[in-house]
Chain A
Amino acid sequence: MPVIQTPASHGADAPGEPVIVLDGVKKRFGSFTAVERAHFSIDRGEFFAMLGPSGCGKTTTLKMIAGFEQPSEGRVVLESVDVSRTPPYKRNVNTVFQQYALFPHMTVAENVAFGPKSKKVPKSEYTRRVAEMLEVVRLGDFAHRRPTQLSGGQQQRVALARALVNYPSALLLDEPLAALDLKLREAMQFELKRIQREVGITFVFVTHDQGEALTMSDRIAVMNEGRVEQIGTPEDIYHRPASLFVASFIGTANLLPGELAGRDGDDVLVRLEAGGTIRASGGGTSVDDVGARPEGSPVSVMLRPERLLVSNEPTGAGISDGRRLSGTVEDLVFQGAAARLSLRLADGTDVITHVGTDTDLPFLRPGDTVEVTWQPGAAFVLPGWPPRAGASSTDVDQIEAAL
Chain B
Amino acid sequence: MSSPTSTRGHIARWALNIYAGLGLLFLFVPIIWIVAFSFNQPRGNYNIVWQRFTLDNWRDPFSDQGLTQAFVRSLQIAAISTSVAVVLGSMIALALARYSFKGSGPLNFLLVLPLTTPEIVLGSSLATLFLDWDITRGFTTVVIAHIMFQVSFVALTVRARVRGFDWTLEQAAQDLGSSPFRTFWKVTFPLILPGILAAALLSFALSIDDFIITLFNAGSLSTFPIYIDGSFRVRFPPQVNVLATTILVFSVLLMSIGLLWGLRSRRRNA
What is A's interface to B at a CB cutoff of 8 Å? Answer: 66-68, 87-90, 93-95, 97, 99, 101-105, 114-115, 118-119, 146, 148-149, 162-163, 166
Q: Is the CB of A101 within 8 A of B190?
A: no
Known: A103-B187, A105-B191, A148-B270. A118 touches B176 (CB 8 A): yes
- Total residues of chain B contacting the partner, CB 8 A: 22
Which of B3-11, B97-105, B148-156, B167-175 is found at the contact surface with chain A? Answer: B167-175
| CA of A105 to CA of B186, assembled, Å | 10
B134 contacts partner chain A, Cβ-Cβ < 8 Å: no
The CB with the most chain B CB atoms within 10 A, among A87, A95, A118, A148, is that of A118
Q: Is the CB of A66 within 8 A of B173?
A: no
B233 contacts partner chain A, Cβ-Cβ < 8 Å: no
| CA of A89 to CA of B176, assembled, Å | 6
Q: Is the CB of A118 within 8 A of B191?
A: no
Q: Is the CB of A101 within 8 A of B171?
A: yes
B166 contacts partner chain A, Cβ-Cβ < 8 Å: yes
Chain B residues, CB < 8 A from A97? 168, 171-172
Residue of A nearest to B193 (CB): A105
Q: Is the CB of B176 within 8 A of A115?
A: yes
| CA of A102 to CA of B171, assembled, Å | 11
Q: Is the CB of B174 within 8 A of A88?
A: yes
Known: A68-B171, A97-B168, A99-B168. A104 touches B176 (CB 8 A): no
Task: Say which residue of A89, A101, A146 sits within 8 Å of B179 (CB atoms).
Answer: A89
Chain B residues, CB < 8 A from A148? 269-270
> 0/1 per residue, B138-153, Cβ < 8 Å to A?
0000000000000000
B178 contacts partner chain A, Cβ-Cβ < 8 Å: yes
Q: Is the CB of B269 within 8 A of A101?
A: no
B59 contacts partner chain A, Cβ-Cβ < 8 Å: no
Chain B residues, CB < 8 A from A94? 175-176
Q: Is the CB of B166 within 8 A of A101?
A: yes
B interface SS class: helix
| CA of A203 to CA of B183, assembled, Å | 25
Q: Which of B230-270 contact A (CB under 8 A)?
A: 268-270
Q: Is the CB of B171 within 8 A of A88?
A: yes
Interface contact tally, CB-CB below 8 A:
67
Sample of 13 more A-B contacts, CB < 8 Å, known A89-B174, A101-B166: A68-B171, A88-B175, A89-B176, A89-B179, A89-B180, A89-B183, A95-B175, A99-B166, A114-B173, A115-B177, A115-B178, A146-B268, A146-B269
Residue of B nearest to A94 (CB): B175
Q: Is the CB of B176 within 8 A of A114?
A: yes
Q: Is the CB of B190 within 8 A of A105?
A: yes
Q: Is the CB of B171 within 8 A of A89?
A: no
Chain A residues, CB < 8 A from B187? 103
Q: Which of B170-215 contact A (CB under 8 A)?
A: 171-180, 182-183, 186-187, 190-191
B14 to chain A, nearest CB (A): 42
The CB with the most chain A CB atoms within 10 A, among B166, B173, B176, B268, is that of B176
Residue of A nearest to B168 (CB): A101
Q: Is the CB of B174 within 8 A of A104?
A: no
| CA of A66 to CA of B270, assembled, Å | 32
Q: Is the CB of A104 within 8 A of B171?
A: no
Residue of A nearest to B170 (CB): A101
Q: Is the CB of A95 within 8 A of B269?
A: no
Task: Say which residue of B174, B182, B191, B270 sits within 8 Å of A87 (CB atoms).
Answer: B174
Residue of A nearest to B166 (CB): A101
| CA of A88 to CA of B173, assembled, Å | 9
Chain B residues, CB < 8 A from A104? 191, 269
Residue of A nearest to B182 (CB): A118
Task: Say which residue of B168, B177, B183 sits within 8 Å of A119 (CB atoms).
Answer: B177
| CA of A68 to CA of B168, assembled, Å | 11
| CA of A101 to CA of B187, assembled, Å | 11
Residue of A nearest to B190 (CB): A105
Chain A residues, CB < 8 A from B190? 105
22 contacts between A and B (CB under 8 A): A68-B171, A68-B175, A88-B174, A88-B175, A89-B175, A89-B176, A89-B179, A97-B172, A99-B168, A103-B187, A104-B269, A105-B190, A114-B173, A114-B176, A115-B176, A118-B177, A118-B179, A119-B177, A149-B269, A163-B175, A163-B176, A166-B176
Known: A101-B168, A105-B191. A89 touches B177 (CB 8 A): yes
Chain B residues, CB < 8 A from A101? 166, 168-169, 171-172
Which are the 9 A-B pairs with shortest beta-carbon distances?
Answer: A115-B176, A101-B172, A118-B178, A101-B168, A118-B177, A148-B269, A89-B174, A88-B174, A119-B177
Chain B residues, CB < 8 A from A166? 176-177
Chain A residues, CB < 8 A from B171? 68, 88, 95, 97, 101
Chain A residues, CB < 8 A from B169? 101, 103
A56 to chain B, nearest CB (A): 21
B93 to chain A, nearest CB (A): 19
Chain A residues, CB < 8 A from B268? 146
Q: Is the CB of A162 within 8 A of B176?
A: yes
Chain A residues, CB < 8 A from B166? 99, 101
